Amino acid sequence: MREPLLKSINPRSLLGDRAVWPGDKEYDSRRRVWNGMHDRRPALVARCSNAEEVSAILRWARSEGLAVSVRGGGHNVAGTAVADDAVVIDLALMNSVDVDPVSMVAVAGGGALLRDLDAATTMHGLACPAGVVSHTGLGGLTLGGGYGWLARKWGLTCDHLTAAAVVLPDGAIVEASPAEHQDLFWALRGGGGNFGVVTRFTLRLRNVGPVVHQSGVYALASADEALVAYAGFAGRQELDLHTVGALKIAGNHEWIPERLRGEPALFLTAGWFGSECDGADAIAPLFRSAPPDGRLDQVLSYAALQALGDHSEPAGHRYFTKSCYLGDISGAAATALVNAGRAITSPMSSIDFEFLRGAIAEVPDAGSAFPNRGAPYIVTASAQWTNADEDATHTRWSRQTIDSLGPWQYGGAYVNYVQDAGHQSAADLYGQRRYRRLAAAKARYDPENILRHNQNIPPVTTTS
């Protein structure tokens, strides 16, 4: 039963100095998010420590007529964790992760980061498939889908959600699962943060051991041929293997030939998640058909693999991301990709791509809110820089990169990578049938659209 609207609460009396107002000493630090492009001034940052506090703050915000945003890790490129004149529910204090290694289940707080999840699970030889930067928030990643190294083998992060504790915008606390609030449970797995504040995630885990990890680097002169070889290999690779690629400026690593350092180059990387002794043979056909100019072979723990990209995406830099799904990555599409890589405008930017399908595509299309499960490839033009005066230059490159791939696009985009407000609606992302179902769930759980600072799905009372 839903609780009545409470008007008498005072956030300061409830939270003490965990209620951070404009003018407070911690205000500027608490309103910052990972992407330095976003400089927003909320009405209040409420650092909640449990679901009951979240409930009280939500009811207070409604009584004051204030919108609400939710901060888990604050890593979303669109900076939706913080909004001007809104109440930020900051879940960072709710970052505990408890693991039952026998039942292979983790229970994580709504503010947990991927590093919190990995630290708790990998000590038992377990993992939940998740993203590839360990300072990403688990909550936003899960609610939007959750691609990562293990996605082809076992599916998305949202596919491993078995239950969620959700504080609804009216303050009610409910459990969403296959047995309770099934429509909410469906919507949470890919529908983003539109429906409530998730304060607890229950996640199914998988066994994971050492990872055979191999990378090759190619001069752009041979990148077209390497991409054709990659496309031919990727569709036939075993489910234990996940291969990704990037066009970026080559660094000064020993394994990279000196002539390529500081120049745009193609990188292909493979991760093998089966028996360690079989990894080299499984990866060999990729680099045999496309011999690289330099190569790095190593065996990593899963936790080390997850943290590999952390140093390349520091908090406070300016980021702009645009993505698309592709049906093909060879031929003319490969040439377009290489040309975009050659035109990179910042030494920190990259074009990242990977072959998907596998277990991602095996989940029935109606089984969750996550769309585009059949997409063969995802491509992301990730611009990164530090000087605000260069915003237009680097955002233009990102947009132009994805626009140049128009003839080969599969349709749709990944909700967690959407930053270009106004260029792609939620209906475009989800498709009309799925969008109508999401809008109906929104009408049931957030009819006033209190949670609208996201890839918003306005409430519509229809299931047609």
Sequence spans of domains, the chain:
14-90, 97-207, 211-417
- Which pLDDT belongs to residue 423? 56
Q: 27, 181, 89: which is closest to 453 by C-alpha?
A: 89
198 in Cβ contact with 157 (< 8 Å):
no
- Which pLDDT belongs to residue 166? 98
pTM: 0.94
Summarised one tens digit per residue, pLDDT across range 6-65 is 445 789 999 999 999 999 999 999 999 999 999 999 999 999 999 999 999 999 999 999
Domains 14-90 and 97-207 share a fold: no
Instruction: Give CA 403 to chain center in angstroms.
Output: 22
- Which pLDDT belongs to residue 10? 86
394 in Cβ contact with 345 (< 8 Å):
yes
Q: 193, 187, 233, 116: which is closest to 454 by C-alpha?
A: 193
User: What whole-number distance in Å separates Cα of residue 357 and Cα of residue 373?
Assistant: 7
| Low-confidence residues of the chain: pLDDT under 50 | 1-7, 463-464
Residues with Cβ within 8 Å of residue 48, at least 6 apart in sequence: 15, 18, 54, 57, 89, 90, 91, 93, 94
- Which pLDDT belongs to residue 129? 97
109 in Cβ contact with 90 (< 8 Å):
no
What sign does the dihedral 115-164-364-75 (CA atoms) show?
negative
Q: 143, 142, 199, 157: which is closest to 175 by C-alpha?
A: 199
Domain at 211-417, CATH from 3.40.50.720, 3.40.462.20, 3.40.50.10490, 3.20.20.70: 3.40.462.20
- Which pLDDT belongs to residue 427? 86
Domain at 97-207, CATH from 3.30.465.10, 3.80.30.20, 3.90.1150.10, 3.40.50.2300: 3.30.465.10
Query: Between the CA of residue 165 and those of 122, 126, 414, 449, what are the distances in Å?
Result: 24, 23, 25, 20
14-90: CATH number: 3.30.43.10
- Which pLDDT belongs to residue 345? 98
Give the per-residue SS3 of 43-80: CEEEECCCHHHHHHHHHHHHHCCCCEEEECCCCCCCCC
Tell me the H-state helices in 178-277: 182-188, 223-234
Interaxial angle between packed helices 332-342 and 223-234, expressed in degrees from 0 to 180 and rounded to the nearest 10: 130
With H, G, I as helix, E, B as strand and everything else as coil, classify residue 445: helix
